Structure 1
Amino acid sequence: MPDLLKRLGERLRAIPPAGVDFAITLAVLIGQTVPFLFTRRMSGPEPWTLAEYWPVLLSSLPLLVRRRFPMTVFVVVAAASAVYSLKDPDIPPQPVPYGWLAGLYTVAELCPGWQRALAILLSLAPGFTVSPATFVRSALTAGAAYVMGRAVVQHREYAALVEERAAERERARIARDMHDILAHGISVMIVQAEAGPYAVRNAPERAERAFRAIADTGREAQGQLRRMLNLLRGADSARAPQPTLGGLPDLVARVSETGPAVRLAVAGTPAALPADAEVAAYRIVQEALTNMVKHAQAATGEVRLDWKDDELMITISDDGRGPAPGGGGHGLVGMRERAAACGGAVTYGAGPTGFEVVVRLPVGEPA
């Protein structure tokens, strides 16, 4: 049932505004015509005339342009309803002034404050001059129509706010991805390029590996950047698979070829991680290794995955000095943001042999 209601709601929202206005006008016209079809004259068998029916048309048909001229339509519809109520009592009564309520709803939804106040005043004044009971009835019906119109405005503003915040979070996520991709790729290429001249003179085979690593790293960074740009454009290719824990062996191997000798260790029984946690784990390890290459001046390092019952703990350690005091830039902040978004946490600081980053991610759907 919820899925059926959801699909129904989506189809209703897909109806163009002109179609909605036509349906409302038709419903109001039918509702106000029904008394003429099932009510007989008290004074005789004569049929109803157009002169008696025209206020019904005037209080219904203007609703076709209610969005373009909301206040004008309301005044016309309200005046037609008032004229109808003041005509010969022999004509059939209208139990509910549908056209007037639809016009007031539109004013409440689309018009500025002073026009809304004027519409309320025009709606209540006739009832106040007739009788207290009529005034109370008019106040209740007018209040219901007005509240419904303002509720639609509030819902629309809330939906826009939620969408804006979602867009801000998406921009922040893309910015972190761009930082991680560029920082890692450029750092690896710089290290390889600096070592290239020495390797060419003393170890040609090592120079060949260095140039190959530069090309591979550049191609991978280019591919990931292309996916990010396609995501910004909304292209279908943006749906390409995101990096996961399965890519860590290749990532560690590339870093080992360019700088510190890093090894990958796994303990415990691997379990399923949510998709966002998989991406976060890969990006955090990538950023930690980038910092290791750029700042640590380390000779060795380790990436250790400890699978526990309710969490995955990732430890990235090295024998270097770590970032300068007060440093770390956007990379360490981005690590914490990524982990927090998945319900996890990141800590970093001095380790047993150098610098250490510890990541904790929940196994299963985050709370």
Structure 2
Amino acid sequence: MPFVVPRPADAPPADWPSYAMTTLGVLPLVWRRRAPVAVLVAILAAGGAYNLAGDGPGQPLPYAGLIAFYTVALRCTARVRLTVGGLTVLTVAVSVYWNTGTARELLFTLFVSAAAYALGRLQHTRQAYTAALLDRAAQLERANRIEAEQAAARERARIAREMHDVLSHAVSIMIVQAEAGPVAVRKAPERAEAAFEAIAETGRDAMAQLRTMLGVLRTDEAAPRSPQPGIGELAGLLERVRGSGPQVRLERTGAVRALPAALEATVYRVVQEALTNVVRHAGASAVAVGLEYGERELTVTVTDDGGGPGAGSVPRARPGGHGLIGIRERAAAHGGTARTGPGPDGTGFELRVVLVTSGAEVGK
């Protein structure tokens, strides 16, 4: 201001030491976030030194001290705030007494100091609220990412089970038919033709089901998708197995009714995997597939007269096979269980799967 509005003639000139003293009252604000209490003390000391030094270039404004006090309220702990607040009130009282000694100046100075403190606490609350929102958003993002990864893992496991069931069953039937083909060509040519037709039919069915599952992996929403096989397709499945040698019969007991599509698909896959094991490992001549409709559950049994597992419940499967694991996972997905062991008369092999149907909406 002395460069714009000339100072009174009786006032001392504005010199560089006075400007330097004014600068010292503001410069510490650069470090206010690192050391708010030290900055407040430095600014108050600079202001006191300015008043004691004499008449400088205009009146030093108290805004730097208010900003420093605001920073103390914003960043310091409650113990430090209370200590600094008490010392500030004492400093204000001494300063006012030294300056004018009027109640008007004392109340005004205390009011603006309290306002700076209140603004600091409000800003602290706002920052804490914003930080809590950001942390919650980050947690939700992590939770959503984990859920998406788990969903993707479950979908991969489901597709792996489907592909295992389809390929294992189809390849087993085709191998049995192909091995019987040369013998049939020499002894019964008409049976060889039926074997080759069974191989072709099994291959076409497997390809159709694989196309359905691979369509799930496409990103194009318009990709055509066929429904999953259900109980109604068991007749065709059993007919293909009969072409491989064993006689298979299907028996339904209880109140036969329509079931949800997902549950029917599980029944189909369970029976398919069980019959695959029969063809590959049992050497059975007869297989009985039973569907027992209870009030709250559906029991699926597959019993053969082949070479049983003996004591215990170890399935006929090669080491590292995933057939029984897949059956247990499918049963658990519907709140059920899967057990294996010898047949009812102690011979052969039986798979017994219980699936919960209560609480599900009926329909396909």
Q: Name the SS for the 1:239 alignment partner.
A: coil
Q: Name the SS for the 1:246 alignment partner.
A: helix
What's the % identity of the aligned pairs? 48
What TM-score do the two structures reach when normalised by structure 2?
0.63
- 2:115 matched to 1:146? no
- 2:346 matched to 1:330? no
Alignment-mate amino acid for residue 74 of structure 2: L
Does the C-alpha gap of structure 1 residues 327 and 304 become closer, same or farther in structure 2, counting only changes over 3 Å?
closer
- 2:178 matched to 1:193? yes
Aligned 8 A contact 1:273 1:364 in 2: no
Post-superposition shift, 1:326?
7.0
Counterpart for residue 242 of structure 2? 256
- 2:243 matched to 1:278? no
Post-superposition shift, 1:366?
6.0
Counterpart of 2:157 (choices 159, 163, 172) is 172
- 2:128 matched to 1:134? no
Aligned 8 A contact 1:295 1:322 in 2: no
Aligned 8 A contact 2:288 2:302 in 1: yes
- 2:69 matched to 1:124? no
Aligned 8 A contact 2:250 2:289 in 1: yes
Give the whole-Å Cα distance in 1 for the aligned partners of 2:208 and 2:72. 64
Aligned 8 A contact 2:315 2:341 in 1: no
1:1-367 matched pairs, under 5 angstroms: 124-125=74-75, 131=114, 132-235=117-220, 236-237=222-223, 239-322=225-308, 328=317, 329-352=321-344, 353-365=347-359
Aligned 8 A contact 2:277 2:316 in 1: no
Give the whole-Å Cα distance in 1 for the aligned partners of 2:72 and 2:308. 73
Q: Name the SS for the 2:295 alignment partner.
A: coil
Post-superposition shift, 1:365?
4.0
Does the C-alpha gap of structure 1 residues 326 and 293 become closer, same or farther in structure 2, counting only changes over 3 Å?
closer
Partner deviation per Cα, 1:28-62 (whole Å, 9 max, x = no partner): xxxxxxxxxxxxxxxxxxxxxxxxxxxxxxxxxxx
Alignment-mate amino acid for residue 270 of structure 1: V
Q: Name the SS for the 2:307 alignment partner.
A: coil
The higher radius of gyration belongs to 2
Post-superposition shift, 1:256?
0.8
Post-superposition shift, 1:364?
3.8
Post-superposition shift, 1:258?
1.0
Post-superposition shift, 1:269?
1.5
Aligned 8 A contact 2:289 2:300 in 1: yes
Does the C-alpha gap of structure 1 residues 216 and 133 become closer, same or farther in structure 2, counting only changes over 3 Å?
same
Q: Name the SS for the 1:221 alignment partner.
A: helix
Does the C-alpha gap of structure 1 residues 322 and 123 become closer, same or farther in structure 2, counting only changes over 3 Å?
farther
Partner deviation per Cα, 1:288-325 (whole Å, 9 max, x = no partner): 00000000010101101111111111110000114695
Post-superposition shift, 1:143?
1.1
Post-superposition shift, 1:337?
0.5
Counterpart for residue 16 of structure 2? none
Post-superposition shift, 1:216?
0.3
Give the whole-Å Cα distance in 2 for the aligned partners of 1:237 and 1:271. 32
Give the whole-Å Cα distance in 1 for the aligned partners of 2:144 and 2:187. 64
Does the C-alpha gap of structure 1 residues 122 and 229 become closer, same or farther in structure 2, counting only changes over 3 Å?
farther
Gapped regions of structure 1 (runs ≥ 5): 1-120
Give the whole-Å Cα distance in 1 for the aligned partners of 2:151 and 2:245. 39
What TM-score do the two structures reach when normalised by structure 1?
0.63
Alignment-mate amino acid for residue 255 of structure 1: V
Deviating above 3 A after TM superposition, structure 1's stretches of 4 or more consecutive aligned residues are: 128-132, 234-238, 322-327, 364-367
**Paired residues, what number?**
248
Give the whole-Å Cα distance in 2 for the aligned partners of 1:202 and 1:226. 37
Aligned 8 A contact 1:291 1:323 in 2: no
Gapped regions of structure 2 (runs ≥ 5): 1-70, 85-112
Q: Name the SS for the 1:150 alignment partner.
A: helix
| Structure with greater helix share of residues | 1
